[in-house]
Amino acid sequence: MARRKIIAGNWKMNMTPSEAVALVETLKPLVQNEDVDVVFGVPAIDIVPVVEACKGTNIAVAAENMYFEESGAYTGEIAPKMLVDAGVKYVILGHSERRDYFKETDADINKKVLKAIEHGITPIMCCGESLEQREQGITMDFIRQQVKIGLQNVTADQAKNLVIAYEPIWAIGTGKTATSQQAEEVCKGIRQCIAEIYDDATAAEIRIQYGGSVNAGNAAELFAMEDIDGGLVGGASLKPDFGKIVCYNK
């Protein structure tokens, strides 16, 4: 069974609510591709207007973060049921910027993954090594740990529907993309890790994205790799070029 590609934008901390709606209007006609699941990951304050602007289109909306508690005294955090009520379908969890600047641990990310699943939100769980780790030759050891802890207590049935984003930190926002071979090697390694935790059927279904300086020029080659099921796109998701990335096979 061929896995359906999933191409998600990660807007990060960009776009005011009114800018966000204008960007959706620009991108809407450009991201029509019936072969691909299209997702816009947007800042929390943009979620409501972006969901509204995406009504009746092929675009699903993702949050960029979420807390793992139901509700209560967690000033500044966003609860899963708030996202569900607002029409969010996916949530980006464990992005390297959140791990680095906001000290999120694999254990925190695991709690968030479990909570998102409980509420019917699909996690896009991020992993990826630093340049130092790559140079030390411990890329796969590090990523296996992130994936194994991130997926603790997630059942095979639940894992099948998840999305994992492999994003080498050295390739994020640097214009320095991993080669398609480098990206494929790690995505294949992640799939093997899933097969070890669960089974081959689960590994065959889970979707694994590549992220890190994906652009209109390199998307087709990356997405043609056997174990790369689409991309998580930062900078280029804010531009009309995102349409070319989504329509990489046209």
Binding site for ligand PGA (CB under 6 A): 10, 167, 172-173, 211-214, 232-236
Residue placing its CB nearer to ligand PGA in the complex, 79 or 128: 128
| Least Cβ distance, residue 201 to ligand PGA (angstroms) | 28
What backbone phi and psi angles, to 5 degrees, belong to 162? -80, 165
| Alpha carbon separation from 185 to 43, 188, 208 (Å, rounded) | 31, 5, 12
Reference 232, options 72, 161, 222; nearest CA is 222
| Least Cβ distance, residue 92 to ligand PGA (angstroms) | 8
Q: Which residues of 137-172 are buried (b: 16+ CB within 10 A; e: fewer)?
A: eebbebbbebbeebbeebeeebbbebbbbbbbbbbb
Reference 191, options 180, 211, 206; nearest CA is 206
Residue placing its CB nearer to ligand PGA in the complex, 47 or 172: 172
Residue placing its CB nearer to ligand PGA in the complex, 29 or 173: 173
| Least Cβ distance, residue 69 to ligand PGA (angstroms) | 25
CA distance linking residue 42 with residue 51, whole number of Å: 10
Reference 40, options 244, 250, 241, 234; nearest CA is 234
Residue placing its CB nearer to ligand PGA in the complex, 133 or 213: 213
| Least Cβ distance, residue 55 to ligand PGA (angstroms) | 25
Q: Nearest to ligand PGA by Cβ — which residue?
A: 234
State the catalytic residues: 95, 167
Residue placing its CB nearer to ligand PGA in the complex, 2 or 13: 13
| Least Cβ distance, residue 58 to ligand PGA (angstroms) | 21
